[in-house]
Every structure is written in structure tokens, then in C-alpha cells.
Structure 1
Amino acid sequence: MRCSYFDAGECRSCTLMGRPYADQLAEKQRHCAGILDDPGIDWLPPVASAEDGYRNRAKMVVTGTVEAPRLGILGADGHGVDLTGCGVCSPGLRATFPVLSRFITTARLTPYDVPRRRGELKYLLLTESPDGRVMLRFVLRTDEALPRIRKHLATLLTELPQLAVVTANLQPEHKAVLEGEREIPLTDADSLRVRAGDVDLHVLPKSFFQTNTAIASALYRQGRDWIREVAPATVWDLYCGVGGFALHGAGPGRTVTGIEISPEAITAAERSRDAARLTGVSFVAGDATAYAVAAPTPPDLVVVNPPRRGIGPELSGWLETSGVRHVIYSSCYAPSLGRDLAAMPSLRPRKARLLDMFPQTRHYEVITLLERG
């Protein structure tokens, strides 16, 4: 894949841009295997992604002026770089950008000037489902622009009928925080239905969802296959997010519990469970480590899908001494996975698979099946 923004030095986010994709995938496999460094691991073939158009989410910084807005990223000087032609964004997302630029002008939404700390509209956050429906979030400094957004929203929905959910998020602070606490719905629908693997996930505005739906589906199905292979009676999905692993782990006679710190994510997971009419699956809003440590008895299998920092020493220590027979660990950062594995030597990686969630970059997802030795 070639990228004019990368070649011109305007955006270097995709650090592997221009390298043959087969070489990228092989390098990631070598990197991950070198970190885990266990000859006993049965490595399944890596799961490749589409090289371009794979991103289902876009975080567009809004800069420029009302008359000539720019959607993209901030340059080193604090001013905007237009990235509306970004090739890793899905074609469906790219199709919205010209219409949204015109809407900014029509609704007189003043882009936020970072160096001067002036303006209203900070970001446009977009998520697309596989069937082409889109969630749009306006991140604003205050609610001053809301009447104008509402006034012209009907026209926007006519021009972009794929917009299923529109909200405004208020983030008044001048700091590197993407969104604020207050989310204001602007459409009747407040969640985006995303088919991922075997289930429809109901993604709410502030819920985390994977950037690459095709690879997320493969990830959830791999977790499902290993759960079926092990056949546990009880499963915990720690850091469950909107419930991808927990919902795929449901089965006859099995009790599955998902734990996630975000109440909104738990609400989304419960909607997905109810829509799928799954039984034996429950969700709890709370800290994953605190939940595990306080529980009177451990489950047969634990799924962990932590953020980049990993699960940390306390949860690793609990897993090491808990007696849990199997752990499925899904990691977006192999070095933290390596540290966590070193802290629980009784749980050895038996199988592993790399999934290329982020082509053109050095990042990837790896999922491992751990078994107590």
C-alpha cells in the first residue's frame, strides 16, 4: 500500500507504510514469538487483514476555519493536517468526510484552535458497522453550538442516511483528553449494532470497540473455539468491554460472567445478550482485579483482554495461586503479555495466534491459551 500523506511526511502514524504486507506480517510474527520465547507453544497461522480500508473508527481532529474546516490530525506546530483521504479508513467513513465538512460550515461550528485555546468543535468521532451504518459524535467545548447542530441535523441525516446514531460529547478542558463525561443524544437511537463474529454487539457512544471488525471477529471466534475445546462449566471474562468474548463463550450448561469497569460498556453487553437471548451470561460493572481477588471461588477458565499495560502483578499473582486451570489471554501489546506470563509460571502458553489488527503499523493482537502445568 502507498500513501501520499506518508510519502509527503504529513502523517507518519502508519510506520510500516510502503513495506510489502507479507513482510510486515512475518516481522510481527517473529517479534511476538521472540517475546513469548517458549518452544512448547503451538503457533496457529497468523490471521491477515485487508491492507487498506480496514479501520471502522476515525478520530478526526477538527481545525481550520468555519468556512474551510480541516479534518485529520494535529501537526507538530499544533495546526491541522487534512487526512480525509486516509487509505486505512474504510471507504464508508471516507465518504462521510466531505459532507461533514460542509455541515461544519452550514451549522457555523467553529473549529477549536489548540494554540489559542479558542473555538468549539474539537473532534468528529465516527464508528462504522459492517453493514455501513455509522455512529457520529461531535466533541464540543461547550453546549453553545447545540442549537445550530439540532437545527441542521435533519438535512445532515438526509445527506448521510447511513447515520444511525448522532451524539454530542462535551469536553471543556484544554488537555489531551479525548472526551468528557457528558454525552447528549441527538437521535432516537443511542447504540450502533455491529456484527462481530457470531453475535450482534450493541456499541454505545463511549464504549470501546476494536478498530478492525474483521479481525475482531476472528479474535472472538478463536476464543470461542478454545472455550469449546476446554469445555469449562464456569467462565469469567475480565476486562470484558462490550462483551465480545463473554457472548461467544456462552453454551449449554455454562455460566459466563463478564466484568468491566465501564458501566456504559456493561449496559451495551447486556443489550447484546438480551437481543441474542443468551442464557447463563451475566455482567458486572467493577474492577476486574478487585472482583477476582474478592470472589470466594475461582472459575474453571478466565479470559483476560486488558488494555496495553496488561493485567499487572496483583491479578497475575492471583491467577498464579488461584488454581484456575485455563486462561485465555488476548493482548494488544506483547511486552506486557510477556511480563504477565513471567509472573504466573504455573500457567504455560499451550497455543497462540497472532491477528493483525493494525496493518501498516507495528501493532498487532495476540491471543494465547494458557494451561496450568
Structure 2
Amino acid sequence: MKKGEIYEGMIETIEFPNKGIVWVKDESVGETVRVIVKNGMPGQKVRFQINKKRKNRCEGRLLEVLEKSEREVREPVCDAFPACGGCMYQTMAYKDQLSMKAGQVRALIEDALVRGGQVKADAPEEADYVFEGIQGSPLEFGYRNKMEFSFGDAVKDGPLTLGLHKKGSTYDVLTTGDCKIVHEDFTKILKCVLEYCREQKLSYYRKMSHEGYLRHLLVRRAQTTGDILVNLVTSSQAEHDFTELVEELLKLELEGHITGILHIINDSLADVVQSDETRILYGKDYFYETILGLKFKITPFSFFQTNSLGAEVLYSAARNYIGSTKDMTVFDLYSGTGTIAQILADVSKKVIGVEIVEEAVEAARENAVLNHLDNCEFIAGDVLKVLDDVEEKPDFIVLDPPRDGIHPKALEKIIQYQVPKMVYISCKPSSLARDLEILLAGGYRVERVQCVDMFPATVHVETVVMLSHKKPDSVINVKVEFGEGEGKVPLDNIAKRAEAYKPKERVTYKMIKEYIEAKYGFKVHTAYIAEVKRDLGLPMYDVPNAVEELKQPRKHPTAEKVEAIKDALKYFDILK
């Protein structure tokens, strides 16, 4: 198998976030090879080209879907599918999306528990934690309360476009005029702005040359009130009077109502939506949103969950895990605009939020005043540094970090508090799994896990984890004398008991493969070992998103290799 070669195969499972797993026979080595093909669905027969080949990893680029999956039970809901990679699971039934995401998270969590020592590798079914499945979003479509659209073109020197980037491209922009994960008001605003900018022949900003005018259209909409903020983002390379555009926007027949239209100047070289200068063209630069009875002020750049109704499900799950915090000091680390802190403030002695984005901290302080909460303190700064200066000690910790997770050194400081319980809210399961290993090594254990789907049709999912720290209830001092004679403990007895209770070495697939190669002189694939274990009824991981019925037969090990695998399993006491 070489780079550039083209193969066909069936996507058997999808690993987080969008890694389709295809098993292909590599004729050069006579074995079946695991290839990662992104952006597919379980059960699809695909054609792909090998674009990465390393020692232990092989990746292919999806070229064509040859046969649809049985899980694709509905037609695409928007014109941009599948060119826009945002909602790649939209043709799947929602219940299948939920099942697949829950399976992905569970696999990552259990791998972390095995590596962290909470779960035995050879007995994952005996895991001493509770996986509580997944809760869906109250809205499957039209759930996003914020969208950043980009200006550009779909083909070089083509007409001006406004929408989302084409899958796999940082330059080509598709006009997404019927995006279904946002409210219809977004679509009407997008079409109005695009038509106006085309008529005015305004140029768009080119990221390579850093030349041009139009950059982004940022729209935010309150779920509870329908208030809308329209933010047109440009460079400072031209001047334009947007009075006519404001008039056109205000004429639109919307379900909600525009409370503010802003012109934001952004000359950053990076492709990010930020403000060097903000000009209010109409109304005001904020609106209010309500979550679980609390009111929050939302500005163009406020950090706020993009699915308001889904956020209520997420925070309710977190609050359920947190339980009673009466008379407790709670640390809300990576607190954003203080949503969780304020949800807990009513039932806590004090809540201290730490957030690195100063604008978010200012918003959190405003929101606390708005909600008449006087026991919240919000500190601007990096968690890694701020914890050194905070005098209070927490009784409970809530973690809600950004997508990349928590810095290992910050985790070490968090562990040093030795709080009995903490809750970790994650928007990226793979980062969560990495951080859990460190927390497990620090004496914590996973008690409960709950997934919440905040982003239907996409690859993303939120996870809430409750962790506990076991401390000794009491200390008993016992005086023991070693040696021979009455009342003394013989040393040879200690050695025998230690040997008897010595934990068994974890047997890995690598050890089994090395044993077989050394004894029989040939190699066996991991998939063959797994198949033999499955046939023998030995413990296996659950794979909720596996294909129930293959459309082409899976390659099986020869009788010789089956016997060699059984011999290795007996050697390592896995098979009696």
C-alpha cells in the first residue's frame, strides 16, 4: 500500500470526530490494513486515495461514495450538502446520530479508564462507573443562535459568495442560502446582504494577499426573544456608506426583530472575527438571552453556547451531577460569561469564576449584577497562573475548558486541592479522555458520564463527567514486629502473600503478536486476534456504531493463524 493508490472498501465504524474505519487487504504484506477515511458514514462503500502512510497509521482521502449506507434514510435538507462539511450526518435519522455519538464518547472514555487504571483491559464490562447515554437537542434544526458567514467565491474569480467554507478548503466559500441549522431569519439576512454587496460591486478580503474589503457577516439571535444583532465585518481598506443596506435589512419580514446593526472594522491578518473598531449603524450592540431563568447580556463577541435550548439541557445535567453545594466555595474554572457560576450561586456560599478572556469576565460581572447575585467573583487571567494567587480553597470544582482541554500543569494544580468531587464539562471528547488520564493518576475516579448533543447533524458532542476523590475515612496505627517467634510475622509469609496477590500484568495485543511471531515465525493482524476472541466469547468492547450487516465479506484469519492465536491466549491465561 503506497501513497496515491486508490482503493474501495466499506466504512465499518466512525471514531470521533469523523474518522471512518475501512479495512483493506494490502497485497504487499498479505494482511488487512486499517485505513482512516474521514467525512463518511458507517455502512457506506467508498472509493478513496491513500494520502498518508506511516508506520502505524494509514489515511485515505474520500473520493466518492459508491453505495449509500442503510442509515441514510432521508434526502439532504440543504443545497450545499455534501460540499459543505458542516452537517455531514444530516441524511441519518437523528436517533442513529445520537447512538453513534454516544458510542464514540464511550469508547474514548473507556480507553482512558483502562490507561488510567480504573478499568481492567481484559474486563471492560466490569467498569465501575455509570455511562448514562446521551440526551438530544430540543431542536434538531434551526438550533444555532450564532453564525459567522464568510465572504469569498466558490471558484477562482467567480461571483461574490457569502456563506460557509467548502469542505477541506480554507479559501472556497459556498453561498449557504438555505442552511437548516440556523433560523430562517439568518437566511433572509444573508441573502439581503449578499445581494446588496453584489450590486455595489464590493470586493472581498483575500487571505493570501491581505487585500480587499468584505470579510464576514456575524449574526446572533436570541432564542427567547427573537432579538437579532447583525454585524458586517470589513477591513479598513475602503470606505462605504451602508445607510441603504440598513434600510433594506429593516424592511425584511422576519420572525424576530433586528435590535442592532453594526459595522466592525477588522484588519487582523488572521482569519478571525474580531474588532479593531465597532460602529453602530442602527440600534444597540447587545441583547438579552435567558437560560434556566437567568438573564444574560449578549454582545457581538460574547462567549455563549450556540444552542440556547441545548444549553439548558447541558447545564441541567451538570447541575444534577454537582448536587448540593450549600455552604461550599465553588471554583468555576474556564467560566466564560459566568453561566454555570450564576446557576450555582443561589445554592452556594461563594462561586469564583476564572476566565482568560477579559471581555467575557466583564460580561460575567454585568450578568451577576443583572441577576442580583452578590456572591460571585470573576477573575480575568489564565487558570494556570491565577490559582497561585487565589487565597480561598474550593470545596467543589467545575471545569468547562475550551476545545483543546486543560494544560497539564494547570491540571496538576487543580488536583492538589484534593476536592472530594468535581464536574468536567467538555466540548471535545478526545481532549477530555486525555485529561481524564491525568486526573485518574492524581487519585480521582470517574463516577458518572452523560453526553448532550448540542450540535445535531454535525460531528460535535458535549460530555459531562462527575469525578470523585477517595480519601481515607480514618487512620489506624498498628504496630507489627517481623521475624520468628510468638506474636511476630514471618517474613517468608509476607513474600508468599505478596506473590499471591500480585496483580496480573496487562496483556496487550502487541504482546500476543510478538509471542506468535517468536514461536511460529509469522505475523497476525490485531483484527484477527479480535475476531478469534469474539468467536471464543471472550470479553470485547461494545461498538455501538458498528455496521450490523456488512455488504462485503470481512477477511478472516487462516486456520493456522487461528490455532496460533488460541495458543497465545492460553499462554497468557486469557483462555483456559
TM-score between both structures, scaled by the size of structure 1:
0.89
For the residues of structure 1 that align with 2:208 and 2:407, how far apart are their CA atoms?
Answer: 37
Match of residue 85 from structure 1:
178
- SS of the residue corresponding to residue 311 of structure 1 reads coil
Measured after TM superposition, the shift of residue 148 of structure 1 is 0.6
C-alpha contact (below 8 Å) 1:92/1:132 kept by paired residues: no
Structure 1 residues 348 and 92: CA distance shift in structure 2, 3 A? farther
C-alpha contact (below 8 Å) 2:193/2:245 kept by paired residues: no
1:127 aligns with 2:215: no
- SS of the residue corresponding to residue 241 of structure 2 reads helix
Question: Which one has more relative contact order, counting CA pairs under 8 Å at least 6 apart?
Answer: 1
Measured after TM superposition, the shift of residue 152 of structure 1 is 4.8
For the residues of structure 1 that align with 2:173 and 2:430, how far apart are their CA atoms?
Answer: 33
Match of residue 73 from structure 1:
164
For the residues of structure 1 that align with 2:100 and 2:244, how far apart are their CA atoms?
Answer: 51
Q: Which amino acid aligns with 1:71?
A: L
Match of residue 148 from structure 1:
241
- SS of the residue corresponding to residue 337 of structure 2 reads coil
1:169 aligns with 2:264: yes
Match of residue 48 from structure 1:
136
For the residues of structure 2 that align with 1:166 and 1:347, how far apart are their CA atoms?
Answer: 49
Total equivalences in the alignment:
370
C-alpha contact (below 8 Å) 2:356/2:383 kept by paired residues: yes
Q: Which amino acid aligns with 2:415?
A: E
Deviates more, 1:44-53 or 1:238-247: 44-53
- SS of the residue corresponding to residue 233 of structure 2 reads strand
Deviates more, 1:54-63 or 1:69-78: 69-78
Deviates more, 1:232-241 or 1:177-186: 177-186
For the residues of structure 2 that align with 1:362 and 1:78, how far apart are their CA atoms?
Answer: 22
**Which of 230, 233, 241 is the equivalent residue of 1:136?**
230
For the residues of structure 2 that align with 1:45 and 1:229, how far apart are their CA atoms?
Answer: 23
Q: How does 1:213-228 map to 2 (within 5 A)?
A: 213-228=308-323
Q: Which amino acid aligns with 2:229?
A: M
For the residues of structure 1 that align with 2:217 and 2:208, how far apart are their CA atoms?
Answer: 19
Measured after TM superposition, the shift of residue 45 of structure 1 is 4.3
Deviates more, 1:99-108 or 1:211-220: 99-108
Measured after TM superposition, the shift of residue 311 of structure 1 is 0.9
**Which of 194, 198, 207 is the equivalent residue of 2:289?**
194
Q: Which amino acid aligns with 1:99?
A: C
C-alpha contact (below 8 Å) 1:107/1:149 kept by paired residues: no
Moved over 4 A (4+): 105-109, 113-117
Structure 1 residues 154 and 264: CA distance shift in structure 2, 3 A? farther
**Over the residues paired in the alignment, what is the CA RMSD in angstroms?**
2.6
For the residues of structure 2 that align with 1:291 and 1:326, how far apart are their CA atoms?
Answer: 21
Structure 1 residues 286 and 139: CA distance shift in structure 2, 3 A? same
For the residues of structure 2 that align with 1:83 and 1:263, how far apart are their CA atoms?
Answer: 33
For the residues of structure 1 that align with 2:203 and 2:371, how far apart are their CA atoms?
Answer: 42
Q: For 1:167-208, what per-residue CA distance to the aligned partner results, in whole angstroms no more than 9, with x for missing partners?
A: 232222444333344333444522221122231211222222
Measured after TM superposition, the shift of residue 340 of structure 1 is 1.0
C-alpha contact (below 8 Å) 1:202/1:242 kept by paired residues: no
Q: Which amino acid aligns with 2:455?
A: F
- SS of the residue corresponding to residue 328 of structure 1 reads strand
1:264 aligns with 2:359: yes
Measured after TM superposition, the shift of residue 278 of structure 1 is 1.6
Structure 1 residues 114 and 341: CA distance shift in structure 2, 3 A? closer
For the residues of structure 1 that align with 2:235 and 2:132, how far apart are their CA atoms?
Answer: 47
Measured after TM superposition, the shift of residue 115 of structure 1 is 5.9
Match of residue 305 from structure 1:
400
TM-score between both structures, scaled by the size of structure 2:
0.60
- SS of the residue corresponding to residue 293 of structure 1 reads coil
Q: Which amino acid aligns with 1:368?
A: V
1:63 aligns with 2:152: yes
Q: How does 1:1-373 map to 2 (within 5 A)?
A: 2-7=76-81, 9-37=82-110, 38=113, 39-49=127-137, 50-63=139-152, 69-75=160-166, 76=169, 78-105=171-198, 109-114=202-207, 117-130=210-223, 131-142=225-236, 144-145=238-239, 148-150=241-243, 152-154=245-247, 156-159=249-252, 162-231=257-326, 233-252=328-347, 254-345=349-440, 346-373=443-470
Larger Rg: 2
For the residues of structure 2 that align with 1:114 and 1:319, how far apart are their CA atoms?
Answer: 40
Match of residue 542 from structure 2:
none
Q: Which amino acid aligns with 1:95?
A: K
Measured after TM superposition, the shift of residue 120 of structure 1 is 0.9
Q: Which amino acid aligns with 2:143?
A: Y
Q: For 1:270-321, what per-residue CA distance to the aligned partner results, in whole angstroms no more than 9, with x for missing partners?
A: 2221111122112121112211233234211111111111112112111222
Measured after TM superposition, the shift of residue 230 of structure 1 is 4.7
Structure 1 residues 150 and 265: CA distance shift in structure 2, 3 A? farther
For the residues of structure 2 that align with 1:12 and 1:230, how far apart are their CA atoms?
Answer: 42
For the residues of structure 2 that align with 1:175 and 1:256, how far apart are their CA atoms?
Answer: 35
Q: For 1:85-107, what per-residue CA distance to the aligned partner results, in whole angstroms no more than 9, with x for missing partners?
A: 11112223223222323443576
